[in-house]
């Protein structure tokens, strides 16, 4: 597994990261209840196998149910081998949408971080991210101050934010406040790709999620809800690009994201050993450039505003 440097943090991370949402809560196409998820001992074993296979970056969050606790169990005694990125729990905003005042903000961050450290069985996290990325938080002085204090106390090595939408991403990358930005980028929605030079110029580490578009860019997406008919039709446009280098749509999507040198690591949700083995085969260092990458850049979905996974989930289109 190749390693890339996570921006100005200097942290060396595997170019493939283990996204822990799928081992923590029911998530993805066809996963409805905990009965569809891995049993806890199997999830712990899967995390250890991923580490032994070369993955050293694991992305989790309090919102991901049991995932922080599973990481703590899996990596007890192995902490020096892993890079852990977690997030603050939701609640940084008041009901009127404004951020908490400084005193309450400091207490909230401290409580959230300490709960994560306890679950993770560690005394520090490598990357602490803000899960809520409202524009009022992206450039909020008090939040920047509080997170800086966490770094000074040695509880956090780097601070980051998870962004939603290209304008939110642009604000985060241009603010100069964040060591790491986690953003969405995939074959369907390529808008954030145009912003990667800003990250490179600022030394900001980039972690990419939604590479497989919640399974739609895998074999799971072959039978979509009728309301997603235009997406299913567009999905078929990628099939002629399959080749010996990228024999499956999931491989094509993964290698597409890894073709951008500004990206340090891509998050892949893994909840089965066969998915881990497949992901490790994909990240083989043979990606796209030149005309091949330029062609894939032309295949973005023409109406990216429609690509709203949370709305699709609420509508029941992802079951």
Chain segment 248-271, per-residue pLDDT in tens: 999 999 999 999 999 999 999 888
Going by CATH, does the domain composed of 3-315 fall within 3.40.50.300? no
- The model's pLDDT over 106-153, given as tens digits with 9 standing for 90+, comes to 999 999 999 999 999 999 999 999 987 778 899 999 999 999 999 999
Domain extents in the chain: 3-315
Rounded CA-CA distance 292/35 in Å is 42
Could you tell me how many helices (H) and strands (E) the chain has, helices first?
13, 10
DSSP 271-283: -SHHHHHHHHHH-
DSSP class of residue 35 equals: G
Backbone angles phi and psi of 187, in degrees to 5: -55, -35
Would you write out the chain's pLDDT as a tens digit for each of its 319 residues? 899 999 999 999 999 999 999 998 777 666 666 767 789 999 999 999 999 999 999 999 999 999 999 999 999 999 999 999 999 999 899 988 899 999 999 999 999 999 999 999 999 999 999 987 778 899 999 999 999 999 999 999 999 999 999 999 999 999 999 999 999 999 999 999 999 999 999 999 999 999 999 889 998 899 999 999 999 999 999 999 999 999 999 999 999 999 999 999 999 988 889 989 999 999 999 999 999 999 999 999 999 999 998 899 899 998 7
Residue spans of alpha helices (H) in the chain: 21-24, 40-52, 67-74, 102-120, 135-138, 141-152, 166-175, 196-202, 229-235, 249-258, 273-282, 290-297, 309-315
Query: How far apart are the two ends of the chain, measured CA to CA in Å?
Result: 33
Q: Name the residue among 189, 185, 247 with its Cα closest to residue 211.
A: 185
d(CA 114, CA 66): 16
* Residue 90 backbone phi and psi in degrees, to 5: -70, 145
Distance, in Å, from the CA atom of 133 to the CA atom of 161, rounded to the nearest integer, reads 7
Angle between helix axes 273-282 and 249-258 (nearest 10 degrees) is 50
Answer for the pair 18, 214: CB distance below 8 angstroms, yes or no: no
């Amino acid at each position: 597994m190749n390693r890339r440097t996570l921006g100005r943090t200097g942290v060396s991370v595997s170019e493939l990261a283990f996204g822990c949402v799928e081992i923590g809560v029911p998530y993805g196409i066809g996963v409805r209840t905990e009965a569809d998820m891995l049993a806890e001992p199997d999830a712990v074993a899967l995390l250890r196998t991923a580490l032994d296979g070369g993955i050293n970056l694991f992305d989790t969050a309090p919102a991901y149910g049991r995932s922080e606790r599973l990481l703590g169990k899996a990596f007890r005694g192995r902490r020096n081998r892993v890079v852990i990125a977690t997030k603050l729990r939701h609640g940084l905003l008041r009901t009127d949408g404004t951020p908490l005042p400084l005193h309450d903000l400091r207490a909230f961050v401290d409580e959230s971080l300490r709960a994560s450290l306890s679950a993770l069985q560690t005394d520090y996290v490598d990357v602490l991210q803000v899960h809520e990325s409202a524009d009022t938080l992206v450039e909020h002085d008090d939040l920047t101050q509080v997170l800086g204090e966490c770094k000074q106390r040695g509880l956090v090595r780097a601070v980051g934010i998870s962004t939603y939408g290209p304008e939110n991403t642009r604000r985060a990358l241009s603010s100069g406040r964040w060591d790491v930005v986690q953003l969405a980028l995939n074959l369907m929605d390529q808008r954030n790709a145009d912003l990667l030079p800003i990250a490179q110029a600022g030394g900001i580490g980039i972690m990419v999620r939604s590479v497989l578009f919640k399974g739609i860019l895998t074999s799971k997406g072959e039978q979509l809800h009728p309301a997603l008919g235009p997406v299913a039709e567009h999905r078929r446009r990628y099939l002629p690009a399959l080749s010996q280098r990228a024999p499956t749509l999931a491989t094509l999507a993964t290698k597409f994201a890894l073709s951008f040198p500004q990206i340090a690591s891509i998050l892949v949700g893994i909840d089965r050993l066969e998915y881990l083995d497949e992901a490790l085969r994909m990240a083989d260092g043979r990606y796209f450039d030149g005309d091949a990458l330029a062609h894939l850049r032309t295949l973005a979905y023409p109406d990216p505003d429609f690509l709203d996974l949370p709305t699709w989930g609420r509508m029941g289109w992802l079951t």
